[in-house]
Amino acid sequence: MLRRSLLMLARSEQIKHLAGSMPVSSGIVSRFVAGESVDDVVEVSRGLIADGRLVSLDHLGEDTLDRDQADSTVQAYLEVLKRLADSGLTHGAEVSVKLSAVGQALGDDGARLALDNARRICQAATNAGTTVTLDMEDHTTTDSTLSILHELRQDFPDTGAVVQAYLRRTEADCRDLTRAGSRVRLCKGAYKEPESVAYQSRAEVDLSYVRCLKVLMAGDGYPMVATHDPTLIAIAGALVSRYSRAKGSYEYQMLYGVRPDEQKRLAAAGKRMRVYVPYGDQWYGYLMRRLAERPANVAFFLRSLATKG
């Protein structure tokens, strides 16, 4: 119930305006967001990589409303990829891209524009010696995102996919995505979805996650286990043994600011552990999804709002 309310709140213009005037340095924002500038995110990445973790950087922004905004998002990715390369960090850093931020929702031409823009980012990532993963957004975009993924993979086979265990379709999507070299991030899913397309209870989502994980671990691709859930992390470990997966043929992923001790533990145990690191000033929608996942964060957020300025 609270989760649904928060996801609705994410669409409230009033709260968005109020929260948008909070500095990124305020407690609850800086816990989940690396900062607003490229300098900020490069420094955070340097620290995480030095500590034995990998990163995937997300330039925050979604639901882009015009071509100029989509183009400035592309420029932001080109800039951060150049900075990562110049800083010698691309061995440990890739980028995550939301297609809605590069034009997917812009009318009939949206898919074509998003593909062209994503291609520019993939080319820059290849030039820098790294890869791109396409984030997955609400279910109305799944088909379009997967078809753009398939097109991108013609030229950039390392492009990563994301699938969401809460969607009823995802087990079948996993089967389609298990060919050799296919990088697939499996997450539970962070949007408010109707029962017609998505499992609603925590138990059903977790069971779906395990079914999908089995398909990915048994397949020839590269599973990216994106969860903070201790039970699912243990099950992933058991599946690695069951399917005799080589070290380096899969990885764990967690969000910046969530269970950092567990991130360190997995990295110290020699696992590939990637942290998803968002940055930029458009942090509101992202923060609301993080609050919706953990009600304990909400009181902290409300206190930050009340004391701002």
| Comparison of 109 and 299: residue with beta carbon closer to ligand FDA | 299
Active-site position among 135, 158, 173, 206: 135
Beta bridge pairs of residue 252: 225, 273
Residue partners of 200: CB distance under 8 A and separation at least 6: none
Q: How far apart are CA 116 and CA 120, in angstroms?
A: 6
185 given a catalytic annotation: yes
Which 246-305 residues touch ligand FDA, going by CB under 6 A? 253-255, 258-259, 276, 290, 293-294, 297
**Looking only at residues 189 through 208 of this chain, which bind ligand FDA when binding is defined by CB under 6 A?**
189-191
Whether residue 41 contacts residue 57, with contact meaning beta carbons closer than 8 Å, is answered with yes
51 is known as an active-site residue: no
CA distance 282 to 107: 22
Nearer to ligand FDA, 76 or 275 (CB): 275
88 vs 265, beta carbon nearer ligand FDA: 265
- Nearest Cα neighbor of 78 from 20, 127, 25, 7 is 127
Q: With 0-12 CB in 10 A as exposed, 13-18 as middle and 19+ as buried, what is 46?
A: middle
Q: Which of 139, 188, 271, 272 binds ligand FDA (CB under 6 A)?
A: 188
Residue from 64, 90, 131, 227 in contact with ligand FDA (CB under 6 A)? 227
Burial of 195 from C-beta contacts in 10 A (0-12 / 13-18 / 19+)? exposed
Please identify, among the stretches 7-15, 72-80, 103-111, 186-194, the one whose residues bind ligand FDA according to the rule CB under 6 A: 186-194
Which chain residues interact with ligand FDA by CB under 6 A?
Answer: 135-136, 162, 164, 185, 187-191, 226-229, 253-255, 258-259, 276, 290, 293-294, 297
